[in-house]
Structure 1
């Protein structure tokens, strides 16, 4: 296990190096002078030249990239141009909102996808199964921002049960914060529950026809015991995989959802940084999100051995 973890961590370093290079290149191939965009139309050529020198944009690209890598090695993500603070601090201030939103969204997706997927597999070919598959395809086809706008219209405007937007006043407690995240979490969780539902159904169908399941039924065990104790545990590995991938995707999906609901999270920060061409924030945020994505995949791989003792690394 230790050797496997060391190898995976080494592989993660290679992946993060590639991500850093891609982010660095993408941020600099966008047309236009970033210094001129940052300072606006009223900036003088002297101001633009001074900012380019400050950002190191007047140096060769290879030199800029090496400086960028050395800063990352020291866990220095740079300083935001517009926020006038370290990028790590700006991300940390918004990490709570995005983390809670992602956790709530994943919980909703799992609470919908896994039970309905199990029920659909147990009722294969019946109207419940067909209805579940149809609703899953419908949920996967609807964009999260449309669901968000619809929820705002009916549950925040017509029926003022939830806040329209925002994250509450600065002194709001956890309960008030979570209340502001209910609609965004539902808007993000429903479309992603479709994939979990379909994977759960497929994985359950693969094991429900195995010999040990037929033996358990022949012994007279209750159907729920057969499904939940014998079949589900052996079907969990693909389900865990898709849940981990869904959680990682939701971090990226939170960008659109946070924009729709006016939430001051990491996604909103990235959108603002892109519009302002704030290089340090764009690079730092994408690097952190990529790192979280890789860590989630590693965690899911390690959970395989917990779920199924037959798995050996």
Structure 2
């Protein structure tokens, strides 16, 4: 088990090193001078020279990379040009909406997908199974931002059940802020449930015909216990994998949804940074999202130890 954990941890470090290198190279190979692009066409040559010195772009490429890696190891993601504050501070200030949007979305996705996927596999070939598969394919083809606009028009503009956009005022309570996340979370959760549903159904179908399931039924166990305790437990590995990947995709994919609903999250910050050519913020957001992606995968690998004893050995 210790060897398994060490291998996964080393793999995580290697992946993050590659991500840092790729992000560093992308900015340097972008056509034009990054400092000139960030400052815009009205910047003077003196302003461009000062910014290049501030960002370390006037140093040799190897020295830039060493300085960049050392900066990251100190937890310094750089300084935002337009916000005039550290990138890490800007990201942390906008982390709450993105965190709760992702949390509520994955909860909604699992609540929809897991029961339907399990029951569809149990009733394989039935009308319910075919309907669930069809709806999953339909949901997977719907863009989350389009669904968000439809929900906004129907339940916010027409009937006024939910707020149209925003995250509440400065003095808004926690409940009010979470209420503002209802529509965007449902839009993301419904679309994300399609993949989890299909993997749940496929994984359950793989184990329902195994010998230990037939043995459990032959012993006289009730069907619910056979399905949930014996079959589902052994089908959890691929289900946990797809749930972890879905969480990572939701974190990075909430950009458009946050923009549609005017949520002051990391996604909205990234869109603004792209429009302003604020490269330090773009780099920092990419690194944070990649780090979260890797950490989620590492956490899923650790969960394998709990659900499948074979992984420990």
| Paired residues, number | 313
215-224 or 258-267, which deviates more: 215-224
Structure 1 274/132 Cα, relative in aligned 2: closer, same or farther at 3 Å?
A: same
Deviates most, 51-60 or 246-255: 51-60
**Contact kept? 2:8, 2:301, Cα under 8 Å:** no
SS of the equivalent of 2:312 reads: coil
1:251-262 to 2 correspondence within 5 Å? 251-262=251-262
Higher mean alpha-carbon deviation, 147-156 vs 52-61, is at: 52-61
What residue number does 1:136 align with? 136
User: Deviation at 1:227?
Assistant: 1.0
Deviates more, 1:210-219 or 1:186-195: 210-219
Instruction: Check whether the contact 1:37–1:276 (CA below 8 A) recurs between aligned residues.
Output: no
1:243 aligns with 2:240: no
**5+ residue gaps, structure 2:** none
Residue of structure 2 equivalent to 1:90: 90
Measured after TM superposition, the shift of residue 96 of structure 1 is 1.2
2:219 is matched with: 219
> What's the CA shift for 1:105?
0.7
Secondary structure, in 3 states, of the residue corresponding to 2:311?
Answer: coil
Distance 2:272 2:60 in 1: 27
Partner secondary structure for residue 172 of structure 2 = coil
**1:77 offset after TM fit, Å?**
1.1
Structure 2 partner of 1:29: 29
Structure 1 residues 38 and 310: alpha-carbon distance in aligned structure 2, compared to 1, 3 A threshold: closer
In the other structure, the counterpart of 1:109 is 109
Partner of 1:195: 195
Which whole-Å CA distance do the structure 2 matches of 1:162 and 1:293 have between them?
31
Shift of 1:104: 0.6
- In the TM superposition, 1:153-192 aligns within 5 A as 153-192=153-192
Q: 1:212 to 1:6 in 2, by over 3 A?
A: closer
Distance in 2 (alpha carbons) for counterparts of 1:160 and 1:34? 45
Contact 2:27 2:34 survives alignment (8 Å) = no
Is the CA contact 2:12–2:298 (under 8 Å) kept in the aligned structure 1?
no
C-alpha contact 2:4 2:312 (8 A) present in aligned 1:
no
CA RMSD of aligned residues (A): 1.4
CA distance in 1, matches of 2:237, 2:279: 39
Report the counterpart of residue 267 of structure 2 in structure 1: 267
Show the 5 A alignment for 1:7-26: 7-26=7-26
Q: Does 1:147 align with 2:147?
A: yes
Q: Secondary structure at the match of 1:139?
A: helix
Moved more, 39-48 or 282-291: 39-48
* 1:118 corresponds to: 118
Identify unmatched segments of 5+ residues in structure 1. Answer: none
* C-alpha contact 1:87 1:281 (8 A) present in aligned 2: yes
- The worse-fitting range, judged by mean Cα deviation, of 241-250 and 39-48 is 39-48
Residue 61 of structure 1 and its aligned partner are, at CA, apart by 2.6
1:217, CA displacement in angstroms? 2.1
Counterpart-to-counterpart distance in 2, 1:224 and 1:114? 15
Residues 240-283 of structure 1: per-residue CA shift (max 9 Å, x gap): 11111111111111111111111111111111112222222111
